[in-house]
Chain A
Amino acid sequence: MVRIDGSKGEGGGQVLRTSLALSLVTGTPFQMVNIRAGRQKPGLLRQHLTAVKAAAEVGAAEVTGAELGSRELTFKPRALSAGNYSFAVGTAGSATLVLQTVLPALMLASGPSTLMLEGGTHNPAAPPFDFLEKAYLPLVRRMGPKVEAVLERYGFFPAGGGKFRVSVEPAPLRPLTLLERGAVKRRQATALIAQLPFDVAKRELAAVERVLKWKPTELRTEELKRSTGPGNVLWLEVESEHVTEVFTAFGERGVRAEEVAERAAGAARRYLEAEVPVGENLCDQLLLLLALAKGGTFRTLPLDGHSETQLHTFSNFLDVKVDVREVSPEVREVEVRG
């Protein structure tokens, strides 16, 4: 059994989710100790338990220590089964994080699956649905598996109540080479507003226009008349020849619309200036795909804590070699070999 120190690296929920994902794919059981040690509320929180529960269901796993506040967990998958799953996540966690935990195994399984996920779809502490749909899943499809996601209802924090469906047709993962993003084909800033003053959306777009100099035709507002709770999200899509990246920011009470917009715009500008195909958000998930494909290479920004944690976690389950080469101060080239 693989023994993992949960306090290493980023030391939070990511090391747990990646371990669950890889354990399901490889069938390797693991024991994790020091889960979230040193955090203000150490041990497993509800959002982590949700991920453990979903993974256990998909892998028919034998689990011990899956309790609130637990610092130790053992996870022994017995049989991965494709099929129809539905997970009600609530807002103590994010439905997209649950998907990231179980998807790698399901897209390599022996048969097709469908998933229905209910709960938070747009949660500031997790990748929003738009990122999955527009940036991540197109790369998955390019590597082989056919995975589609359809949003049925938005679920903003804290009300939740969102819903999306995912269909998975498994296929072996092919290595991917992504060294250039090519010409930018389309730029789109979307300010989505639900049950809040519409003015907020307009001010966000004005700020995007000012910071990024995008044209008025590249800016659009979207208003949700029907949603369970209020919400505001701004996402910027940069669709290039070889890749699409998505940058998001969420409205918060007490934070000006302009400031929200500048958060997303700042990240987008940094990505555009660096001339790399893969931004920070895609990087850690792409690393996982390449590691499972046992090959591939891409260029990205300097790796952040999340990506470093991913690399460290891989070594427990996969026999792959990952090289990170500095191309320039702002550009890294990552190469994965089996």
Chain B
Amino acid sequence: MAKAQRRKTVVIGMLGTTIDQGQGPRRWERWRPTVALCQQEDLLVDRLELLYPASATLLAATVTEDIHQVSPDTQVRGAVVDIRNPWDLEQVYGALLDYARAYPFQPEQEDYLVHITTGTHIAQISMFLLVESRHIPARLVQTSPPVGRDKGLGGGGSYTLIDLDLSKYDKLAARFQQEQREGLSSLKAGIDTLNPAFNRLIERIEQVASHSRAPLLITGPTGAGKSQLARRIYALKKARRQVSGPFVDLNCATLRGDGAMSALFGHVRGAFTGALSDRPGLLRQANGGVLFLDEIGELGADEQAMLLRALEDKRFLPVGSDKEVASDFQLIAGTNRDLQVEVERGRFREDLLARINLWTFRLPALRERPEDLPPNLLYELDQASQALGQRVTMNKEAQEHFLRFATSPEARWSGNFRDLNAAVLRMATLASGGRITREDVDEELVRLRAQWTRSTSPAAAGAVDLVAEVLGSELAAELDRFDRVQLADVISVCRQARSLSEAGRVLFAQSRARKQSTNDADRLRKYLTRFGLGWDDVSGRGATEAA
């Protein structure tokens, strides 16, 4: 016979104690699904595993004999399953699970089908669950009674194979892909970004966001879009009905003292002076939803401890309360610091970091994504149009002029998308008739150059408080003015440099010229260490994508 080894078709099915019933000769006039499955012209059941309760032994024997008669090639193996109440899910599922666990499945040699037309609904549900969870590596098979002439002759009717692997259905697979594309697009705010690294990052976020409720950590320099991304992750989860609660966000840098605990965890009336009424706190507000804590590195020690508790147990104590409350939320944390360094310095709890950096995503700076400037420019123009209530356009020449500058090394984009947004909004506001011309662009370039020069000149260090940004406002306030001005200049040089060595060469240029310094990088590193800082803190590039 055939040389190629065909996989045997093995059906596992419950005996239908009602629907397969029949003892006299006229049972043949009735459609009996288990027998009918073995009468199919285009399906040969090599083996049937017939499961039945001990009470149906007689019927099982009749069905076995009938199958042997209509389909001599089918081997029927009976198995008694211990089901006394076929409507008890626990009992039925348990018995079938035991059966499945003990069954020596050989998917390489045998093709399994689970017959779900027979048995109680509970049995059908249990079979479905076992197949869905791959405890039984099978497809489902459903039989239907004959219709038309086939019915008159007493034929076997028809059968349908159902594969629960939905990706095998072309139309559904196409829908899943479309859904994923829409998800990616929504995470990118509809911007057709071209930067491959960024697009990969977004794909990964989409995967994680749709499958995980674990905390996410988004790192990246200021203005890189952490908070917007957190919002879009929430919107995506909401659209996919994975969250029911609200989006609650908070910048931890704005929290101070007692208020911090209370804002996050709530308090009861009278917990402290001024606590005139109960306050639920942001964690409780975020129940069932997403809590975005930006600048999580700014959180105080007490808040960190309580947050860890809330993440691990989904329970915590409001200020002044002796009763724990529960809240189940997904945490998205944002930071522009290297939290690992903060841990080493003892400013961030190691266990909390371990808890939140299961998924860490580093958003690149705008400078690292030059190819994404054109689509983002168009996006910002749209945003400006909406903000101004007027259609804002930019002619081709003006666009090219702006983008030439925007992608040049001269453009620092130190505030990343915040800078781009402000630049476009300024141009749009000043453009007459909503048309941005080359002249408008030139004017804006002057402003941008001045802004970025100012932020790097020592005199204006206070204007953009780099020290506070890097150290945190509390620590910055503790510094002497003498040190603060010096540190601000060092940071600004570091931000423009590509590496620690390059920054060292700039800062110690005179010594270097006199050959009095041999290792500028080491000198700079030692200086920064005095403030508890590392290269990642001052370079503005944040941590690399971790975990």
Q: What residues make up the interface of A, taking CB atoms closer than 8 Å to B?
A: 41, 43, 45-47, 49, 53, 56, 63-69, 88-92, 118-119, 124, 157-161, 194-195, 227-230, 250, 252-255
Contact = CB atoms under 8 A, between A and B. Distances in A.
18 contacts: A41-B42, A47-B41, A49-B44, A63-B1, A68-B42, A88-B72, A91-B71, A92-B39, A92-B71, A124-B153, A157-B155, A159-B28, A160-B70, A161-B69, A229-B25, A229-B28, A252-B153, A254-B151
Interface string B60-75: 0000001001111100
Interface in B71-120: 71-73
A118 B41 contact: no
B58 interface: no
B43 interface: yes
List the 10 closest pairs (A to B, CB-CB), nearest first: A252-B152, A229-B28, A88-B72, A195-B25, A45-B41, A159-B28, A254-B152, A158-B154, A253-B152, A161-B69
B38 to A, nearest CB: 9
Contacts of B323: none
Nearest to A226: B25
Interface in B298-348: none
Given A63-B1, A63-B2, A68 B44 contact: yes
A66 B1 contact: yes
A158 B44 contact: no
Interface SS, A side: loop
A159 B28 CA distance: 6
B41 A46 contact: yes
Interface of B: 1-4, 6, 24-26, 28-29, 39-44, 66, 69-73, 149, 151-156
Contacts of B73: 90
A90 B29 contact: no
Contacts of A228: 25, 28, 69
B154 A157 contact: yes
Contacts of A90: 69-73
B37 to A, nearest CB: 12
A92 B43 CA distance: 10
A153 to B, nearest CB: 11
Nearest to B156: A158
Given A45-B42, A157-B154, 5 more contacts: A46-B42, A63-B1, A91-B69, A119-B72, A159-B66
A183 to B, nearest CB: 37
A195 B26 contact: yes
Contacts of B1: 53, 56, 63, 66
Contacts of A88: 72
A135 B152 CA distance: 28
A65 B71 CA distance: 21
B153 A41 contact: no
Contacts of A89: 72
B2 A92 contact: no
Given A64-B3, A195-B26, A92 B41 contact: yes
A91 B73 CA distance: 11
B42 A252 contact: no
A253 B72 contact: no
A229 to B, nearest CB: 4
B154 A65 contact: no
A53 B44 CA distance: 14
B39 A91 contact: yes
A159 B70 contact: yes
B24 to A, nearest CB: 8
Contact of B28 (A56, A230, A254): A230
A254 B41 CA distance: 23
Given A252-B152, A254-B152, A64 B2 contact: yes
B3 A160 contact: no
Nearest to B155: A158
Contact of A69 (B3, B29, B42, B156): B42
A91 B152 contact: no
B29 to A, nearest CB: 6
Nearest to B35: A158
Contacts of B149: 252
Nearest to A89: B72
Contacts of B4: 64, 67
A63 B3 CA distance: 8
Contacts of A67: 2, 4, 6
Nearest to B153: A252
Nearest to B66: A159
Contacts of A252: 149, 152-153
B421 to A, nearest CB: 62
Contact of B25 (A49, A124, A157, A230): A230
Contacts of A66: 1-2
B153 A158 contact: yes
B199 to A, nearest CB: 43
Nearest to B31: A158
Contacts of B43: 68
A141 B73 CA distance: 34
Given A89-B72, A90-B73, A119-B72, A158 B39 contact: yes
Contacts of B42: 41, 43, 45-46, 68-69
Contacts of A157: 153-155
A313 B3 CA distance: 27
Contacts of A161: 69
A67 B8 CA distance: 11
A188 B2 CA distance: 46
Contacts of A195: 24-26
Contacts of B154: 157-158, 253
A297 to B, nearest CB: 38
Contact of B41 (A41, A56, A65, A255): A41
Interface centre among B29, B154, B156 (most CB of A within 10 A): B154
Nearest to B154: A158
A56 to B, nearest CB: 6
A228 B25 CA distance: 6
Given A56-B1, A67-B6, A124-B153, A158 B28 contact: yes
A221 B29 CA distance: 22
A91 B42 CA distance: 13
A204 B28 CA distance: 22
Interface centre among B4, B26, B44, B70 (most CB of A within 10 A): B70
B29 A230 contact: yes
Contacts of A45: 41-42
A172 to B, nearest CB: 32
Nearest to A254: B152
A119 B4 CA distance: 28
A63 to B, nearest CB: 6
A41 B154 CA distance: 19
A158 B71 CA distance: 11
A158 B25 CA distance: 11
Nearest to B158: A41
Contacts of A92: 39-41, 70-71
Nearest to A65: B2
Nearest to B9: A68
B145 to A, nearest CB: 12
A254 B151 CA distance: 9
Contacts of B69: 90-91, 159-161, 228
Nearest to B43: A68
A65 B1 CA distance: 9
Contacts of A63: 1-2
B365 to A, nearest CB: 59
Contacts of B66: 159
A67 B43 CA distance: 10
